[in-house]
Amino acid sequence: MRTLGVGRNALALLAFTILAACATTEKARESWSGATYDDFVRAWGAPARSGKLSDGADVHTWVSDAGPAYRSQSSVGFGIGGFGGGRGGGSVGVGVGASMPIGQPTPAPPARCERTLTFRDGRLVEQNWIGPDEVCAEFQRAKPG
Amino acid sequence: MQSSSARSRASWLVALAASVVAACASTDEFAAARESWRGATYDQVVMAWGTPSQSSVDSHTWLSDDSAPRVQGSGGVGGMIYAAARCDRTLAFRDGRVVDERWAGDAEYCKRFARRK
């Protein structure tokens, strides 16, 4: 049935969107696996807070704010189309579409990503990232070259 | 036949019930996030949140702020707004482990600080 097909597509799209959103911070975290403290300082600068655990491991926290961004609003589309077919003939379709945004783009607020990392002998052993995916994902390790 | 005022009243009741359920779910998740740290060591908390903002003999406080999404609206018209959010977490330790926790701030934002499994 057509309605079921549309529902299935919508569900697939929703699942894909959720998976894509979940993957971003995780991907950024994983990109730093095996990195040293110096690698982080080169990429993000000096940490905002630093401390030591009872076993001598070093814990550093980097806090970053993403500036306000502008997101485009939803849009409305118009389309005209036609098809026809006579007796014994095939059908021919023609379509024209146009869309326009509604209102002004909405400002997204600044958001924060906090990364607390634990190092032993200068190497990363534990990571904890707190913040929205769209902000934290920006802190993925840059590929060399 | 159902009158339009009866239908309107029914929609309001459904909206009210949905708000209550959502509020309860949020409160439950906030309590779960807060209690997830019970029994953790100081080192485990520092590994997750970094060094505390304030410390006393047997308790430490972590202060965090950001903006958090809030749903606003009524009567079927609404939207998402972002507001400044704060979450202050004070954990009391005995024998090196969390025995009491006092969290204050935006419930939606505080949920980010739940202990990860």
pLDDT tens digits for range A126-139: 999 999 898 999 99
Q: Tell me if B50 and A59 make a contact (CB, 8 A cut-off).
A: yes
**CATH code given to domain A1-66+105-145:** 3.30.1450
Residue A49 has pLDDT above 90, yes or no: yes
Q: Which of residues 8-67 of B touch A (CB under 8 A)?
A: 42-43, 46-51, 64-67
ipTM for the complex? 0.71
Contacts of B67 in chain A (CB under 8 A): 109-111
Spell out the residues 6+ positions from residue A75 whose beta carbon is closer than 8 angstroms to its own: A99, A100, A101, A102
Query: Tokens standing for B83?
Result: 């507001």
3-state secondary structure B31-85: HHHHHCCCCCEHHHHHHHHCCCCEECCCEEEEEEEEEEEEEEEECCEEEEEEEEE
Average pLDDT over residues A113-118: 97
Least CB–CB distance from A109: residue in B46, B82, B116: B82
Confidence of residue A1 (pLDDT cuts 50, 70, 90): very low
Q: Are A98 and A77 in contact (CB under 8 A)?
A: yes
Nearest to B33 by CA among A51, A6, A130: A130
pLDDT tens, per residue, chain B with 117 residues: 556 677 777 777 776 666 655 555 667 899 999 999 999 999 999 999 999 999 999 999 999 998 776 666 665 566 767 778 999 999 999 999 999 999 999 998 999 999 987
Which residue of chain A is at minimal alpha-carbon distance from B65?
A112
Q: Are A40 and A59 in contact (CB under 8 A)?
A: no
Instruction: Determine contact: B71 vs chain A, CB below 8 A.
Output: no
Q: Could you give the CA distance from residue A112 to residue A131 in angstroms, rounded to a whole number?
A: 6
pTM exceeds cut of 0.90: no
Least CB–CB distance from A112: residue in B51, B66, B82: B66
